[in-house]
Amino acid sequence: MAQPTLIDNDASESPARPELQHQDAFEQAIAALPDQPDWLIERRQKAWDAFQTLPLPSRKDEQWRFATLNRNVLNQIVPGNGVDAETADRLASRSSFIADHAGQYVFADNQLIDSTPLDPELAEKGVRFVNLETALRDHTDLIEPIFLQAQAELGSEKFVALHKALVTNGTFLFVPRGVEMSKPVVAVYWSSAASTAVFPHTLILAEDNTSVNLVDIFLSDNPEAAGFACSMANIHGGANSRVMRKVVQDWNENTFSFQNDLTIAERDSVVKNVAVNIGALKSRYENMCRIVGPGADVKMYSLTVGEKHQEFDQRTLQVHEAPHATSDLLYKNSLMDECRTIFSGLIVVDDEAQQTDAYQTNRNLLLDHTAEANSLPGLEIKANDVKCSHGATTARLEEEELFYLMARGIPERTAKRLLVFGFFEEIIEKVSNQELAEKIRDIVHHKFTRHQA
Amino acid sequence: MSNQLEIKHLNASIEGKAILNNLNLTLPQGEVHAIMGPNGTGKSTLAKVLAGHEDYEVDGGEVLMNGENILEMEPDEISRAGLFLAFQYPMEIAGVSIANFIRAALQARLDEGEELNATQYYKELYEKMDLLKIDRKFTSRSVNEGFSGGEKKRCEILQMSMLNPNYCIMDETDSGLDIDALRVVANGVNLMRGADRGFLVITHYQRLLEYIVPDVVHVMFNGSIVKTGGPELAKELEERGYGWLEAEAAVTA
Amino acid sequence: MSAEAETLSQIDRDKGNFHYETDYAYDAGVGLTPEVVDYIASVKDEDEWVREFRQKALKVFEKKPMPTHWASEDLNNIVFENIRYYLAKGQQPTRSWDEVPDDVKETFERLGIPENERKFLAGVEAQFDSEAAYSRMKEELEKEGVIFVGSTEGLMKHPDIFRKFFGKVIPIGDNKFSALNSAVFSGGSFIYVPPGVKVRQPLQAYFRINAENFGQFERTLIIADEGAEVTYMEGCTAPKFETSTLHSAVVELVALKNAKIQYITVQNWSDNVFNLVTKRAMAEEGAEVKWIDCNIGSRLTMKYPGVILKGDGARGEVLSIALASDGQHQDTGAKMIHQANNTSSNVISKSISVGEGRATYRGRVHMPKELSNCKNNTECDALLINTNSKTDTYPAITVTGEGNSVQHEASVSKVSAEQIFYMMSRGLDEGQAMSLAVNGFINDLTRHFPMEYSVELKRLIDLEMEGSVG
């Protein structure tokens, strides 16, 4: 397979901006956030040191088995530094992804370009949905214990360190004890200028007995410009909280995307993370959940629609540290053209975590014979009173099903489309927000239909 | 005194919670006793304690089976000594066929070096299966796996008749059975009645007792036997419900 | 217990745990050097190409790191410098038990080998440390052109056919331990079944480690020519020494067009043996290879039998059972490498972890994009008994191509206290209840095994279970 390289189609970029790996990139990132507390500077300095020391992962690393990582992935990329007013206006006007929301932030190349204030009723009850700058100014005490504290465990240590060192914007959602929100808050992240890096950041702190709903959307301004995205989302589900987080990754297909999500689930919490993956040339998505309280229930769902030379590299970890908890993972990938997917999942059940129910399923639908699906579903069980299972299947559309539909007079193309959409639907319906589900349906259907044409 | 099952001043608890409270009951061989009572009163606990379940703590009293205290014994020793528990919720054992399971249980009753006569065994097994209207194909199915509620209960009765116990404890054997299945099960039990066997039929409903007519009916409440009488007591309970027990218990307390 | 079962009951852990002092005429000494490798080649009077093969393999072995980045750290406890790599009495394998030296004969008699031979085997080879002590096959098979000899003898007497396939299925550098075996191999079986010959009864090899600090490195090569069929069984034991022992075999199977090979292992090494074995088969058009692999003993077993499905319509199967008791790690699995259209593979793995035992499944299924209509089905189920047991599952599956499909299912379950109580309330003691549950767990697999082996396996499991409850 030809090794796709970054397309540098905007050579006129100001030479003053340092590349990702230069010390100046770090200095500028530190300077970008005013009034940073010492603890934060310390954390970011540590991360920067780690980023510079850690080697770029290679396929020989067990955690990068089957992955193709371009050795130049970090070269000739500069940290995104905002957009001009005209671009900001243009992107803001294209950001109404979900109309019925409780508050929205829009960022472009790491700069806040638009916001709709949080529903006053929620604000009154103490809910906070703010960008990082505000969070650091007004809620230091809340975020200090958790901000940039998550560690990568699935191989992306270097990229997580990069994120921690260079992140300058993102959102913090705080929901105080007992407060329930129904409509989601939304964060839209744009990548605009070519060869720039964006660092979306999501921090959710849900206190006890809350209900929380957040949507992240990743988009590219220019469908061709080379991009680099390195995001992090940390979700803290307090006791008996219900947290729902959805993320739609639709960068353009010249983007290298590194996504690192961590969920911590306390006693009796129900945390659901739904990821829809459409874009990026290469997407590395590490998704971990750590169940620390008994009775918690974590769900991790993902839908990927890949085409051309896209590569979706998914690594998941479900760690059960407390008893009586449940986790359920379902990753569905549909593959067209020369697309590759790698699903590597691991369930770890600690010896303390008796009466665990943990499931992990990976379903790959091969739509072209040139596509390649890799599955590495893993279990590590140290407790004995558990119910755990994993399953992985890879197949093309069922001939019998296709025949059944065609025998009803449906043309083959339509029949295929119906079956493929049916494959997608199992995840899309888990989004449980009509408007968002409809948007996702549009995007994935469009992508598939375009391919079929 | 031998040839009877004597439960004397039995106190038992689970995880520190007292369930059985100074329970007394004597079941002679040759008789059928019923225990009735509202849910949560300790009926199933009594069954599990008799069979030697380790989750239950015996806090006092004794259970003498033909004069021998069985409370100190392991579940398998109790079983081999002649007590059979028909479970309310029989366990599923994957990959172990009914035929092999019962055979292993019978083999465990023989002296070391002694082999079960396979021909004789299958002959008897099939006879009893016919009696209980169990399809012979069932012998190769895994114990209780994928069985309906009625099939599970019939399988319990099949084991009971094959193992030939002196005392049969039947824990809510009627729950979840339709009337046809109930008749089959009751018929199986009635055929096993005899001078050398005692039955303790635990049930919430009087319905079963129309088919298995007891000699004695005990009423259990809050972990004790609060009333004992003849079959007519069951009918009375059916008509009046269990509510009056509470009032009565309050008076005697 | 049936008569067959009685005859097989010699291979339990305690039965193998005895040891006779033996004098060795040839001893390569302790440690691994080019001189030791030369010594082995000289003692065996090997051709120059074999000597070069060995020396090359030694270099590969030295260069390759221990695979501890994915495998158990316990591998680091193998001290290669302390191991003796070749020990032999200098005898040629005899065709008659009477000619086998007394101490060696006594060992095999105690293990019941001559008796089994009479009862149900078509041929037997018995290896004592580095070399075969006895090797014999029924005369009619010899007349049909079947070759069943020790690999040392095979290399000497049938060099053409041996060399044609030797090292072709498992190259030297496949892994660190295949390289080690390639450098110091000795013993093992060489089998050739001519076209169309179907060997009805199994051929059996028996491997015995007798000496302390000794490494056994047998090399087995089985070739079933077009339309031929053969079943091969191996058993192994060693006494329990103070120090650990290394067993590192390489087994290559070649099933030519429409041939069938079934390879059965009941591994019951004592629990201080590192058992690091590379087993792979090549299946040509329409051929069928089945590995039946039962791992009961050893301290650490690493073994992933594989089939390279090289010809159209070839079939590969791995049925494996692992029982990991206290202090044991059974790290087993299967590899199915599809290289032709319409090939199918099936893997069923059942593991049982008892006490502090640990069972790991690793799998590899590969279907490249130029292929069509290939199928794989994999099931791995783990059963846990006691709170400290552990189980891991790490399959890796790659699928592309037209109409290829893969299905992988794995589950972990346990024997519940309620199940045990239920069985005990029918009069079974705890050990019996436990082995009934365990045998129930593997039943749907063992019923596909030859009778002698499923009976033997059941008996070994009963023994393990009785020891596991206290």
Please give the residue that has the higher pLDDT: either A452 or C254. Answer: C254
Of A304, A315, A245, A312, the closest CA to residue A278 belongs to: A304
Q: Cα separation of C177 and C170, whole Å?
A: 11
Looking at beta carbons, which residues of chain C come within 8 Å of A389? 409-412
List the single residue in B91, B100, B105 with the smallest CB-CB distance to C419: B91
CA distances from C39 to A402, C28, C32, C45, C60 (A): 66, 7, 11, 10, 19
- pLDDT top residue among C308 and B100: C308
Q: Are residues C334 and C445 in the same domain?
A: no
Chain A partners within 8 Å of C362 (Cβ): none
Does the distance separating the beta carbons of A372 and C398 come in below 8 Å? yes
Round to whole Å and give the CA distance between C219 and C235.
15
Q: Which residue has the higher pLDDT, B176 or A154?
A: A154
| Domains identified in chain B, total number | 1
Mutate to test the interface with B, among C6, C422, C443, C457 (most CBs of B within 10 A): C422
Q: Confidence class of residue A314 from pLDDT cuts 50, 70 and 90? A: very high
Of the listed ranges A69-83, B50-64, C10-24, the one predicted with least confidence: C10-24
- In contact, A170 and A199? CB cutoff 8 Å: yes
Contact status, residue C274 vs residue C327, Cβ threshold 8 Å = no
Q: Is residue C3 part of a domain?
A: no
| Residue A399 burial by Cβ neighbours in a 10 Å radius (0-12, 13-18, 19+) | exposed
Would you say A217 and A251 are in contact if contact means Cβ atoms under 8 Å apart?
Answer: no
CB-CB neighbours of A389 under 10 Å: 19
Check residue C1 and give its pLDDT. 33
Rg for chain C (alpha carbons), in Å?
21
**Distance (Å, whole) CA A271 – CA A126:** 21
Dihedral sign for Cα atoms in the order A130, A133, A138, A141? positive
Residue of A nearest to C355 (CA): A384
Is C427 in contact with B76 (Cβ distance < 8 A)? yes
pLDDT at B34: 95
Q: Across residues A247-257, what is the average pLDDT?
A: 97
Residue B106 lies in a domain: no
Contact residues on chain B for C424, CB-CB shorter than 8 A: 52, 74-76, 79
Cα A158 versus chain centre, distance: 17
Q: Answer yes or no: is A162 within a domain.
A: yes
Task: Compute the nearest-CA separation of A324 from chain C (Å).
Answer: 15
A394 reaches C (C-beta below 8 A):
yes
In tens digits, what is the pLDDT along chain C, a chain of 470 residues? 333 333 333 335 456 677 777 778 888 888 899 999 999 999 988 999 999 999 999 999 999 999 998 899 999 999 999 899 998 877 677 788 888 888 778 878 877 777 777 777 878 888 888 888 788 888 889 999 999 998 888 999 999 999 999 999 999 999 999 999 999 999 899 999 999 999 988 898 888 888 878 889 999 999 999 999 999 988 877 777 777 889 999 999 999 999 999 999 988 888 889 999 999 999 999 999 999 999 998 999 999 999 999 999 999 999 999 999 888 999 999 999 999 999 999 999 999 998 889 999 999 999 998 899 999 999 999 998 876 778 888 989 999 988 899 999 988 888 878 888 999 999 999 888 988 889 889 988 888 887 777 777 887 788 777 766 54
Give which of B199, B206, B208 is closest to B235, Cα–Cα.
Answer: B206
Inter-chain touch C424–B75, beta carbons under 8 Å: yes
ipTM score of complex: 0.81
Domain count for chain C, please give it. 2
CA distance C191 to C196: 15
C415 — contact with chain B (CB < 8 Å)?
A: no
pTM for the full model?
0.80
A401, part of any domain: no
What is the per-residue pLDDT for A310? 97
Structural domain span for residue C78? 13-418
Q: Which residues contact B235 (CB under 8 A, 6 or more apart)?
A: B206
Is the CB of A387 less than 8 angstroms away from the CB of C416? no
How far does the CA of residue C379 sit from the closest CA of chain A (Å)?
9
Q: Do chains B and A touch (3 or more CB pairs under 8 A)?
A: no
Three-state secondary structure string covering chain B: CCCEEEEEEEEEEECCEEEEEEEEEEEECCCEEEEECCCCCCHHHHHHHHHCCCCEEEEEEEEEECCEECCCCCHHHHHHHCEEEECCCCCCEEEEEHHHHHHHHHHCCCCCCCCCCHHHHHHHHHHHHHHCCCCHHHHHCEECCCCCHHHHHHHHHHHHHHHCCCEEEEECCCCCCCHHHHHHHHHHHHHHCCCCCEEEEEECCCHHHHHCCCCEEEEEECCEEEEEECHHHHHHHHHHCCHHHHHHHHHHC
Question: Do the domain assignments include residue A365?
Answer: yes
Q: What is the DSSP letter of C202?
A: P
Q: Is B149 among the domain residues?
A: no
pLDDT at A26 over 60: yes
Query: Cα-flanking dihedrals φ and ψ of residue B110, to 5°?
Result: -90, 160
Q: Look at residue C247 and tell me if it is in a domain.
A: yes
Q: Are residues C392 and C261 in the same domain?
A: yes
Domain count, chain A: 1
Q: Are residues C85 and C215 in the same domain?
A: yes
Higher-scoring residue by pLDDT: A405, A72: A72
- The answer as to whether A7 is a domain residue is no
Whether the pLDDT of residue B6 is over 90: the answer is yes
**Enclosing H/E stretch for A187:** strand A185-191
| Predicted pLDDT at A10 | 43
Q: Is the predicted pLDDT of residue A255 greater than 90, yes or no?
A: yes
* Residue C6 falls inside a structural domain: no
What value does the mean pLDDT of chain B take?
Answer: 89
- pLDDT given at position C387: 65
- Residue B177's pLDDT is 81
A433: in domain: no
Q: How many CB atoms lie within 10 A of CB A429?
A: 11
Contact check, Cβ <8 Å, C443/B75: no
Residue A36 has pLDDT above 70, yes or no: yes
Three-state DSSP class for residue C421:
helix
pLDDT at A432: 86
Cβ of C390 under 8 Å from any chain A Cβ? yes
pLDDT of B253: 46
Question: Is C140 in the same domain as C267?
Answer: yes
Q: Which residues pair with A372 in a beta bridge?
A: A340
Chain Cα centroid distance, residue B167: 8
Nearest to C351 by CA among A379, B92, A326, A350: A379
Asked, for residue A13, whether it belongs to a domain, the answer is no
Over residues A88-95, mean pLDDT: 96
Give the CA radius of gyration of chain B.
18
Size of interface A-C (CB pairs under 8 A): 119
Q: Does residue B246 belong to any structural domain of this protein?
A: yes
Q: Which residue has the higher pLDDT, A309 or C94?
A: A309
Does a structural domain hold residue C2? no
Residue A15 has pLDDT above 70, yes or no: no
Answer whether residue C96 is part of any domain: yes
For residue C448, list chain B residues with Cβ-Cβ distance below 8 A: none
Of residues C235 and A101, more confidently modeled? A101
Average confidence score pLDDT of chain A: 91
Model pLDDT, residue B252: 55
Domain span at residue B29 reads 4-90+166-252
Identify which has the larger pLDDT, C105 or B123. B123
CA C87 to CA B199: how far, in whole Å?
70
Residue B63 has what pLDDT?
Answer: 96
Q: What number is the average pLDDT over the span B235-251?
A: 75
Task: Give residue A256's domain range.
Answer: 23-396
Q: C387 contacts in A (CB within 8 Å)?
A: 351, 383-384
d(CA B189, CA B207): 15
- Which chain C residue lies closest to B96 (C-alpha atoms)? C440
- Say how far apart CA C336 and CA C346 lie, in whole Å: 8
- Residue C391 and residue C426 in one domain: no
pLDDT at B4 (0 to 100): 95
Strand partners, C148: C191
Full DSSP string of C332-360: EEEEEEE-STT-EEEEEEEEEEETT-EEE
Of the pLDDT bands very low, low, confident and very high (cuts 50, 70, 90), residue A11 is very low
Per residue in A352-407, pLDDT tens?
898 899 999 999 999 998 999 999 999 998 887 788 889 999 998 887 777 777 77
CB-CB neighbors (< 8 A) of B142 in chain C: 440
Which pLDDT does position B249 carry in this prediction?
A: 66
Within 8 A of A390 by CB-CB distance, chain C residues are 393, 408-410
Output the CA–CA distances (angstroms, integers) from residue C400 to C28, C310, C372, in the order listed: 49, 17, 9
**What are C351's two structure tokens?**
């593991």
Both C379 and C460 in one domain: the answer is no
User: In this structure, is residue B158 part of a structural domain?
Assistant: no
| Rounded-to-integer distance, Cα C367 and Cα C404, Å | 7
By the CB < 8 Å criterion, does C416 face chain A?
yes
Q: Give the per-residue pLDDT at C98.
A: 81
pLDDT score at A288:
97
What pLDDT shows up at residue A16?
57
Determine, yes or no, domain membership for C102.
yes
Question: Which burial class, exposed, middle or buried, applies to B226 when counting CB atoms under 10 A from its CB (0-12, 13-18, 19+)?
Answer: middle
Query: Are C196 and C202 within 8 A, CB to CB?
Result: no
Q: Quick one: pLDDT at residue B230?
A: 92
**DSSP conformation letters of A162-183:** HHHHH----EEEEE-TT-B--S
Q: Within a 10 A sphere around the Cβ of A291, how many other Cβ atoms? A: 32
Q: Is C312 a member of any domain? A: yes
Give the best residue of B93, B142, B167 to mutate against chain C (max C CB count within 10 A): B93
Is A198 inside any structural domain?
yes
**pLDDT tens digit sequence for A142-197:** 999 999 999 999 999 999 999 999 999 999 999 999 999 999 999 999 999 999 99
CATH number, domain with residue B194: 3.40.50.300
